[in-house]
Structure 1
Amino acid sequence: MPGLLPPLTRAVTYTRWLHLLVGSVVPFVCAAIYPGLVRPSPADWVLIAVLPVPLVLAAAMVPETRRAEGLQAQLMLFPGPHARVRGDGASGVSAAPSASWSDRARTGLWLVLRLEAGFAVALVTGQLMALALSLAGAAAGETGVGDPPLRVPGAGWAYGLLIPVPLLVLVVLATGAGALMAAAARRLLGPSAKERLAELEERTERLLERNRIARELHDSLGHALTLAVVQAGAARAAGNPDFTDRALETIEESGRAALEDLERVLMILRETTPPAGARPALGDAGRLLDSARSSGARIDAEVTGPLERVPGPVSREGYRILQEALTNVLRHAGPVPVRVRIAVDEARLRLEVRNPLTAAAAVAVTGGGSGLRGIRERAALLGGEARTGQDEGQWLVHVDLPVR
Structure 2
Amino acid sequence: MSLSLAAIRRPLFKPLLRPVTYSRWLHLLTGCVAGVLMGFLRSGTFRPGHGGPWLSFAVLPVPILLLAALVPAVRRIEGLQAQLLLIPGRSGTGERGSQIATSPSATWPDRGRTAVWLLLRLEAGVAMTALTLQLPALTVVLARAAMGHATGVTGWPSIDTPRWWYGLLAPLPLVVLLTVVVGAGALMTGAARLLLGPSAAERLAALEARTERILEHNRLAQELHDSVGHALTVTVIQAGAARAAGSPEFTDRALAAIEDTGRQALADLERALRLLREDAPRPADRPSLTDADRLLESARAAGAAVRAEVTGPLEALPGPVSREGYRMVQEALTNVLRHAGPVPVSVRIAADADALELEIRNGLPAASESSGGGRGLRGIRERATLLGGEAETGPEGDEWRVHARLPLRRLG
State whether TM-score is above 0.5. yes
- 1:398 aligns with 403
1:377 aligns with 2:382: yes
Distance 2:81 2:201 in 1: 22
1:356-403 deviation line (CA, Å, top 9, x unaligned): 333xx5446647343234323322332223333344454332222112
- Give a deviation string over 1:149-194, Cα, whole Å, max 9, x none: 2444632333222222111111122222222211111111112233
Asked whether 1:206 is paired with 2:213, we answer yes
Alignment partner for residue 38 of structure 1, among 33, 47, 53? 47
Contact 2:45 2:56 in 1 (8 A): no
Counterparts in 2 of 1:120 and 1:208: CA distance versus 1, 3 Å:
same
Distance 1:80 1:163, change over 3 A: farther
Q: 1:390 to 1:153 in 2, by over 3 A?
A: farther
User: Contact (CA 8 Å) 1:130, 1:148: kept in 2 or not?
Assistant: no
Could you tell me which of 68, 83, 91 is aligned with 1:74?
83
CA RMSD of aligned residues (A): 2.8
Report the equivalent of 1:120: 127
Q: Following TM superposition, by how much is the alpha carbon of 1:265 offset from its aligned partner in structure 2, in angstroms?
A: 3.5
What does 1:8-47 correspond to in 2, within 5 Å?
A: 8-32=16-40, 33-39=42-48, 45-47=54-56
For the pair 1:291 / 2:298, whether they are aligned, the reply is yes
Moved more, 145-154 or 157-166: 145-154
Residues 347, 193 of structure 1: CA spacing in aligned structure 2 closer, same or farther, 3 A cutoff?
same
Whether contact under 8 Å (1:131, 1:148) holds in the other structure is no
Residue 53 of structure 1 corresponds to 62
Gaps of 5+ in 1: 82-86
Q: Is the 8 A contact 1:137 1:145 kept in 2?
A: no
Deviations 1:123-158 (A, max 9, x none): 233332232121111122212143452444632333
Q: Give 1:4-403 correspondences, 5 Å limit.
A: 4-32=12-40, 33-39=42-48, 45-78=54-87, 80=89, 89-147=96-154, 149-152=156-159, 154-269=161-276, 278-358=285-365, 361-363=366-368, 366=371, 368-392=373-397, 394-403=399-408
Q: State how far apart, in whole Å, the 2-side matches of 1:72 and 1:51 are.
A: 23
The Cα shift of 1:205 comes to 3.2
Q: Which amino acid aligns with 2:58?
A: A
How far is the alpha carbon of 1:327 from its aligned partner?
A: 0.7
Structure 2: runs of 5+ lacking an equivalent: 1-7
Contact 1:289/1:299 (<8 A) preserved: yes
Question: What is the number of equivalent residue pairs in this alignment?
Answer: 396
1:346 is displaced (CA, Å) by 2.5
Distance 1:312 1:89, change over 3 A: closer
Cα distance change, pair 307–125 in 1 and its aligned pair in 2 (3 A): closer
Q: Distance in 1 between matches of 2:88 and 2:280?
A: 33
Give me the whole-angstrom Cα distance separating, in 2, the residues matched to 1:192 and 1:177: 25
Give, in angstroms, the shift of residue 7 of structure 1.
2.2
CA distance, structure 2, for counterparts of residue 88 and residue 293 of structure 1: 52
| Range moving further from structure 2, 203-212 or 4-13 | 203-212
Distance 1:153 1:8, change over 3 A: farther
Q: 1:366 to 1:164 in 2, by over 3 A?
A: farther
Q: 1:18 to 1:256 in 2, by over 3 A?
A: closer
Equivalent pair of 2:35/2:56 in contact (CA under 8 Å): no
CA deviation digits over 1:326-379, x for unaligned, max 9? 011111221223232323332111212233333xx5446647343234323322
Structure 1 residues 68 and 302, CA gap change in structure 2 (3 angstroms)? same
Question: Is residue 289–residue 322 contact of structure 2 (8 Å, CA) maintained in 1?
Answer: yes
Percent identical? 60
Inter-partner Cα distance in structure 2 for 1:273 and 1:123: 52
SS in 2 for 1:349: strand
Deviation (angstroms), 1:251 = 1.8
Instruction: Tell me the distance in 1 between the aligned counterparts of 2:338 and 2:270.
Output: 25
- The 1:150/1:384 distance shift into structure 2, 3 A limit, reads farther
What SS is found at the alignment partner of 2:165?
Answer: helix
User: How far, CA to CA, are the matches of 1:44 and 1:304 in structure 2?
Assistant: 86
- Taking the aligned partners of 1:6 and 1:118, their CA distance within structure 2 comes to 24
Between 1:305-314 and 1:111-120, the stretch displaced more is: 305-314
Structure 2 CA distance for partners of 1:188 and 1:205, relative to 1, 3 Å = same
Cα distance in 1 between the residues matched to 2:57 and 2:197: 29
Is the deviation greater in 109-118 or in 72-81?
72-81
> Aligned residue for 1:84?
none
Paired with 2:199 and 2:188, the residues of 1 have a C-alpha distance of 19
SS in 2 for 1:389: strand
Partners of 2:55 and 2:22 lie apart in 1 by 27
Residues 121/196 of structure 1: CA separation in 2 closer, same or farther (3 Å cut): same
The 3 A distance-change label for structure 1 pair 373 and 40 is farther
Matched letter for residue 85 of structure 2: M
Give the direction of change, closer, same or farther, for the CA distance of 1:257–1:157 in structure 2 (3 Å limit): same
SS of the aligned residue for 1:157 comes to coil
1:296-346: CA deviation from partner (whole Å, max 9, x where unpaired): 223233334443432232112111110111011111221223232323332
